[in-house]
Amino acid sequence: MAGLLPRSLLRASSSIAPRQAALFQSSVRAHKLSQRIYAQSSLKSYPRGFTTFPPKQQYRTHTYDSGDGNPPVKIQIQEPPSFFTRALRFTGRVLGGILIVTFGSVIALVIYEPDMIVATEAVRMAMHPEEGISDERTLEIEAYIQNHPMVQKFRDDPSLIETRPHLDIPTLLRPNVLTAGVLTGPDRIAVPPLVFADGEGKKLFAILHVGEQLCGHPGVIHGGLLATLMDETLARCCFPALPNKIAMTANLDVNYRAPCKANQFVIIKAETTKVEGRKAWVSGRLESLPVPGVEGDGKLLVEASVLMIEPKNIGPLMREVSHKKLTSGTPSAAIGSA
């Protein structure tokens, strides 16, 4: 508050003469009276019904006695804010700075890097080509797969069940799944693989398209990607044959027979050869998808075999997850395709 006297003057006031102490006390009273008059006049300048509340400040009254029989002098000194008040102010400033930086960064990204904001939309477009929100090339790939004679042959087989396992993964989790998120999109795995399986864990067929952004050498698909596709597809083949419908790779053996060119359709054929308790052995082939009208199999590109082992004590966890899915209304067919 303006007009308060410094501490040094207050200490000095204890040794002043009686007459000077009386003058000092009268000056303090006059100062308080002038402040009260100023406050009342300032409130009259505002419209009727409008009131202002000055910031609340803490004061402590100090009494100084000169010891000469004169009345003691009382002075109010402003105290510093409490620790809680200072901590609250500091926290508010920090949070305010974080909000300003966050909103500023978002605005900057929207203006200068809009592609970063809508990056996940490309995954969504590729995962739902049937909704009509994909680009023209993705729709062409989807139409080719849907109308291929081999797909029609699989659909005519009553022992095979048609699924798209990637679409069973919750939308929020897909960007964190390698083959359903990072590797999915235009010029990569444009549409989710179309899978036909017998439901008993004995055989499985997967058809997909591999784009030019998946290459290791120019125009040739990366061998590591082919191994990933074989690992995932062969594992999915044996899941229904295991006690809790899930397993992890213990050994993967891959043999590359010919270069896999980019921008082509491929088919993966998997077969479970042996099951012993929590263990399953699966073999498979990755071939080029035959051109419509051409009889026989496509060109052999990759051969692989895998040993899958179900983790110990996974049963209670899987039963708990299955129970939650059933109680939430999730179809039972989606539970075994985790």
C-alpha span between 22 and 13 (Å, rounded): 11
Whether 335 and 326 have beta carbons less than 8 Å apart is answered as yes
Structure tokens given for 105: 């960064």
- Taking the C-alpha atoms of residue 215 and residue 188, their distance in angstroms, rounded to an integer, is 9
78 within 8 A of 54, measured Cβ to Cβ: no
Give SS3 for 203: strand
Dihedral sign for Cα 166, 148, 189, 253, please.
positive
H/E element holding 332?
helix 332-335
Tell me what pLDDT residue 336 has. 39
60 near 79, Cβ under 8 Å?
Answer: yes
Cα separation, 179 vs 166, whole angstroms: 8
Using CA atoms, how far residue 99 sits from 91, 94, 118, 223, 224, in Å, is 12, 9, 22, 45, 42
The Cα-based distances of 36 to 57, 105, 147, 231 in angstroms read 17, 49, 91, 85
| pTM, two decimal places | 0.59
The Cα 229–Cα 235 span in angstroms is 10
CA–CA dist 293, 143 (Å, integer): 17
Report how far residue 15's alpha carbon sits from residue 33's, in angstroms, rounded to the nearest whole number. 26
The one-digit pLDDT tens for each residue of the chain (338 residues) are: 444 545 544 454 444 455 555 655 666 665 665 566 555 555 444 444 444 445 555 556 666 666 666 777 666 666 677 788 888 888 988 998 898 888 887 777 666 555 444 444 444 444 454 444 457 888 899 999 999 999 999 999 999 999 999 988 888 888 888 998 889 988 999 999 999 999 999 999 999 999 999 999 999 999 999 999 999 999 999 999 999 999 999 999 999 999 999 999 999 999 999 999 999 999 999 999 999 988 888 999 999 999 999 998 886 666 655 555 544 444 333 333 33
Q: For residue 151, what pLDDT is reported? A: 95
User: What is the per-residue pLDDT for 264?
Assistant: 96
Burial class, 170, CB count within 10 angstroms (exposed 0-12 / middle 13-18 / buried 19+): exposed
